[in-house]
Amino acid sequence: MLEISKRLTSYSPNERLRRELEKARAELHELEARHRELKQAAKDLELQDKAVEERLKRLQKDLYGGKVVNPREVEAIEHEIESLKKQRGEMDLQLLELWERLPEAEQALENPRQRLEELEAKFAEAEEKLGAERAVLEEEYSKLAAARPKFLEGVSQTLLARYEAIRQRQGGIGMAEATKEGLCGACGTTLPRTAIENAKLGQVATCQECHRIIYATEGAI
């Protein structure tokens, strides 16, 4: 019964798979974030490029439309046009580079995406199987738990209260079976022979270490 309880609480054979799944998920998220950043950077650059283009058009219109005649102003505008053209040239280069990198970044998502899907399916299957195993264990446990009051029939109220107190303190298990080797089945402490003898006789015996009530079957020493 302790064995089952232990297995129910610590039984997680899918832990490795779950960790693998989480890792794959994190890796994909990182790649996706990188891809998104590239896309956003390209979009920002395109907008900037457009703004510069419009500014250039306006300046050229001012310049060649005869609106500006003051030589100093003309010079200033020519200067700005030149610097804007240079800026645009640089932005166009950057944009080309981004456009080149984007399909690559998108393709880099394919394999991790597929792997994640596979892992997710594998994990779901393993969890389902585990759920079924767990259900069997739980049923076994509840059967044993149901049999417990029978064992405690005829036990005094004081002892019962003591049993309940121990049970609550010891994570739900207030009894321990004496093993064939004469050890406490819960904590593994060697039990005194008298304790085992008493337990066999149906008398109250407790483990000196964990204070659980000891019961002994024929197999015990």
Q: Judged by CB under 5 A, does residue 209 bind Zn ion?
A: yes
Task: Copy the structure tokens of residue 179.
Answer: 């093993």
- Chosen residue from 196, 210, 216, 220 binding Zn ion by CB under 5 A: 210
Q: Judged by CB under 5 A, does residue 207 bind Zn ion?
A: yes
Name the residue among 129, 153, 112, 126 with its Cα closest to residue 25: 112
Name the residue among 53, 33, 52, 30 with its Cα closest to residue 41: 33
- Chosen residue from 187, 198, 200, 221 binding Zn ion by CB under 5 A: 187
Other Cβ atoms within 10 Å of 199 Cβ, number:
22
**Closer residue to Zn ion in complex, CB, 2/105:** 2
Q: Which stretch binds Zn ion (CB under 5 A): 66-74, 85-93, 137-145, 182-190?
A: 182-190
Q: Is 190 helix (H, G, I), strand (E, B) or coil?
A: strand
> What residues have CB less than 8 Å from 220, skipping those under 6 apart?
177, 178, 179, 180, 182, 196, 199, 200
Q: Judged by CB under 5 A, does residue 220 bind Zn ion?
A: no
Q: How far is the CB of 209 from Zn ion (least distance, A)?
A: 4
Q: Judged by CB under 5 A, does residue 184 bind Zn ion?
A: yes
Number of residues that bind Zn ion (CB under 5 A): 7
Which parts of this chain interact with Zn ion (CB under 5 A)? Answer: 184, 186-187, 189, 207, 209-210
